[in-house]
Chains A and B, each alone.
Chain A
Amino acid sequence: MSAPTEAHTLPNGMLVLTREVHSAPVATSWIWYRVGSRNEPSGQTGISHWVEHMLFKGTPSIPKGDFDRLIARNGGTFNGFTWVDYTAYYETLPADRIELGLKIEADRMINTIFEPAEVDSERTVIISELDGYANYPETWLDEAVKASAFTAHPYHHPVIGYKSDLLAMTRDELYAYYQTFYMPNNAVLVLVGDFRTDALLKQVEALFAELPRGPALPQLRAVEPEPQGERRVTIRRPGPAEYLQIAYLAPDCRSPDFAPMAVLDAVLSGAKALSFMGGGTQTNRSARIYKALVESELAASAWSSFTPSRDPFLLELSATVREDKAAAVVEAALIGEITRIQQDGVDAHELAKVLKQVRAQVAYSGESVTNQAMQLGMWEVLDSYRRVDTLLDELSAVSAEDVRRVAQQYLTERRRVVGHFIPTGEEGEL
């Protein structure tokens, strides 16, 4: 059902992906930059995310405040987000207004002002965002687990950055970072929706082809060394419950072991929806972790997660410990599910179920042009947009033995971090 995707490269190196979808009079424009928190040096954590915020603060031709009004006036929605491997922006609009998205992105790729007063105002907005996350105990645990899992690789630090870095960041550092990474040869434009490709490409060329290509980009060299033993981290803060988060260093999305790991994750807690914007179905309650942890009343909730990444990232297991249960028992039950797969493998029925779930999630996600473009862009910055179309075949080719092998190879005690959140009493250690 998915229409073919066409790839076009402009002379300045910018890749443009287009896919016509005529089921609703809607179109979406996404721009992806190959920059995220993995590119940040120590002392400048959070700079990618801050630059993303500044792209909403105005250019000479679209001043601050005009940008969101302009999109609203045209019946559109927009957002931007930053992750470890990428930064992306989108506008979804009635199809006949899609050129507005192109104009905005072409303009702010090069002309964003970084007004010093706006930089200072945004500093406190971002610190407020960080403080809002810090109200949740899970945030503290997650940060500690990631920091323990990565010693040499910048996946070590949170995407939003450390508060000390946010307090110290200068306008010139932000601007230099923007000028380094925001350029056509480091960008992917993804257009999906109810348009005619030929006509739209002419608009793309008119707006983007003259933007100057930048110098070669700095490449990240850091490689996380093979862990030499289990690491354990405990966080004690006020909170409502004990939480567990167990992370194993896992293969990146270009590894031949990516597909078996993705199947393994789905066997543990279902094939996840293909968008963080909703639209999929829940698939975890008949899977292994829910049965072993939640049905058994050890945990109020429990799940696994595994996302495609540029460099080796994590397969994680998480649980909220029930009030009357011991965290050690919950930890043993979570790890027990890994051991069970290492020893006995998975069965054919589970593999078939995972494939059907992925097929269904692909179909649900395909209802929205915004979600389709998100998948194409994400895969292109991680590897290649073609993975969107080959993923089902990759997963179909995974055997039960592959799943068992990757469980044995990657999910070992020495490659794992065990994080434990223990709530403190009313004294409130701050």
Chain B
Amino acid sequence: MSNQQSGIAGATRHVLPNGMVALIQRNPSTPTVSVRGELRVGAVGEPTEQSGLAVFTGAALIRGAGERSFQMIVEETEERGCSVSAGGGLHSSGFGGKALVEDLPLVLEILADMLIRPTFPAQEVERLRGQFLMGLRESEQETGTQASRAARALLYPPEHPYSRISSGTLATVQAITREDLARFHARYHPAGGAVAIVGDVEPAAVIAELEARLGSWAPAATPPDSTPPAAPPALEGISRKDIPMPGKVQSDVIWAVHGLRRADPDYYPVMLANMVLGQLGMGGRLGENVRERQGMAYYCYSGLEADIGAGPWSAVAGVSPENVERAIAAILHEVERFVADGPTEQELADARAFLTGSLVLGLETNDGIAGTLLGIERHGLGLDYIDRYPTIINAVSHAQIVAAARRYLSTERYVLAVAGPTAT
């Protein structure tokens, strides 16, 4: 039997001369290879009036790079059953690929062109804009997207990057020019970035290949600023927004408060609290109440966005319009109960057992291993993190969870967003 846990600890970590970190893990059990990487430039660095710029730029990289057109890139990769991709996120711009192992050199060659030498052909930019605008028009009519936009706008002041959805709006995406994309791309920098490669590869050979493809990339831009966004002003009281949407049948409800940074000392207690409140089994206590006990919703769960900055800690439910107030009452009831008493002994034991026991499931595929390596690097956790993880989780006490939950959860200061048909 293999032991993937020590596999992560045994991954090769190599820093390229330009500051980019390469993480390579050999997985001889598959004929495939996965590449996943990120640069520390994202939507947090874009001006409010250009919301969507990071996402647009990331998606445009494949539309022409080096000597290749978009059609050449997709033709060459798809005829081998491999893929390359890139996309902008909130704090990073990600890139990746998947291939049979013999096609890794092609994937790395094209990815390097996409990162370093994108050409942003005018016609391709317009095609992409058309697709983005259609996607935005579709998501504008989704109850979940509308509720999420509203909740973010209530949680964060308008100048805060977390107040927006990183895909932008119809108006901002319409106004972004080809030159804007090129200017945003000029901020891409290898320093602080990382690339993880997992599959049946020889680490030394892959590092040599990366040195050749990416090692000499030394952009003029200053390395990205990784200061987390300022903490938003504390919530005062309850704010609520209702968005009526014609033609909808069901409402999406979002309850939210400010969460915390991944680097916060409260992270592990809060993560365990979230697990019990709205994750474990079929949506934790929230799912148990709203779905299992009251039969009100197909989904009800909570989510925690703890990344470089403090994202929302939220609970969501999809319910019929006449059940909106009942669902909100149920969510508040569970929050109040959790803040008062924290998890039961059994719930805490279950959450610990799940988090530690399921580690091996996340490390089964090349994608899973590469994603884990990238997360470890992003948050500076060290390659022994997986081996240390059970100790970390088992050391979190009931008292720490209750104390942390009380610092963040509240039934007096929160935001609510409801999007759907008007109640009948």
A interface, CB within 8 angstroms of B: 1, 22-26, 56, 64-65, 68-69, 71-77, 92-95, 97, 120-129, 131-132, 134-136, 194, 237-241, 270-271, 279, 281-287, 291, 294-295, 297, 300-301, 320, 322-323, 349, 352-353, 356-361, 363-364, 366-369, 424, 426-430
For B31, give its contact among A1, A69, A271 (CB under 8 Å).
Answer: A1
The answer to whether B71 and A23 touch across the interface, beta carbons within 8 angstroms, is: no
Q: Min CB distance, A373 to chain B, in Å?
A: 13
B383-424 residues at the A interface, CB under 8 angstroms: 421
Q: Does B219 make an interface contact (CB < 8 A)? A: no
Which B residues touch A284, using CB under 8 A?
A: 78
In the assembled complex, 7 residue pairs joining A and B whose CB atoms fall closer than 8 Å, in A order, are A24-B364, A26-B360, A97-B357, A125-B295, A131-B320, A134-B250, A238-B246
Q: Min CB distance, A144 to chain B, in Å?
A: 16
The answer to whether B246 and A426 touch across the interface, beta carbons within 8 angstroms, is: yes
Contact code string B345-366 (vs A, CB < 8 Å = 1, else 0):
0000111011011111101111
B interface, CB within 8 angstroms of A: 1-4, 27, 29-32, 70-71, 74-75, 78-83, 85, 98-100, 127, 130-131, 133-135, 137-138, 140-143, 246-250, 280-282, 288, 291-299, 318-320, 349-351, 353-354, 356-361, 363-367, 421
**CB nearest to B100 among chain A residues:** A360
- Which 6 residue pairs across A and B have the least CB separation, nearest first? A75-B357, A360-B81, A238-B247, A428-B246, A23-B29, A68-B281
Q: Min CB distance, A123 to chain B, in Å?
A: 7
Which A residues touch B249, using CB under 8 A?
A: 131, 134-135
For A240, give its contact among B79, B137, B282, B358 (CB under 8 Å).
Answer: B137
**CB nearest to A23 among chain B residues:** B29
The answer to whether B1 and A72 touch across the interface, beta carbons within 8 angstroms, is: no
Most chain-A Cβ atoms within 10 A of its Cβ — which of B131, B143, B319? Answer: B131
The answer to whether B29 and A24 touch across the interface, beta carbons within 8 angstroms, is: yes
State A227–B253 Cα separation when bound (angstroms): 45
The answer to whether A281 and B360 touch across the interface, beta carbons within 8 angstroms, is: no
Which A residues touch B299, using CB under 8 A?
A: 132
State A95–B298 Cα separation when bound (angstroms): 31
State A369–B350 Cα separation when bound (angstroms): 24
For B250, give its contact among A73, A135, A352 (CB under 8 Å).
Answer: A135
Most chain-B Cβ atoms within 10 A of its Cβ — which of A26, A127, A320? Answer: A26
State A288–B288 Cα separation when bound (angstroms): 47
Known: A94-B360, A131-B320. 4 other contacts (CB 8 A): A24-B360, A323-B134, A356-B80, A361-B81
Known: A23-B30, A125-B291, A301-B131. A75 touches B359 (CB 8 A): yes
The answer to whether A128 and B354 touch across the interface, beta carbons within 8 angstroms, is: no
**CB nearest to B419 among chain A residues:** A135
State A429–B295 Cα separation when bound (angstroms): 28
For A241, give its contact among B81, B134, B295 (CB under 8 Å).
Answer: B134
State A56–B291 Cα separation when bound (angstroms): 12
State A427–B247 Cα separation when bound (angstroms): 9
Q: Min CB distance, A187 to chain B, in Å?
A: 24
Q: Min CB distance, B381 to chain A, in Å?
A: 20
The answer to whether B71 and A295 touch across the interface, beta carbons within 8 angstroms, is: yes
For B298, give its contact among A92, A132, A359, A366 (CB under 8 Å).
Answer: A132
Known: A295-B71, A300-B135, A301-B131. A131 touches B30 (CB 8 A): no
For B79, give its contact among A22, A95, A241, A356 (CB under 8 Å).
Answer: A356
Which A residues touch B142, using CB under 8 A?
A: 135-136
Known: A72-B350, A367-B366. A22 touches B82 (CB 8 A): no
Which A residues touch B78, using CB under 8 A?
A: 270, 281-287, 353, 357
State A294–B131 Cα separation when bound (angstroms): 9
The answer to whether B247 and A69 touch across the interface, beta carbons within 8 angstroms, is: no
The answer to whether A76 and B71 touch across the interface, beta carbons within 8 angstroms, is: no
Known: A194-B1, A271-B81. A238 touches B320 (CB 8 A): no
The answer to whether B247 and A241 touch across the interface, beta carbons within 8 angstroms, is: no
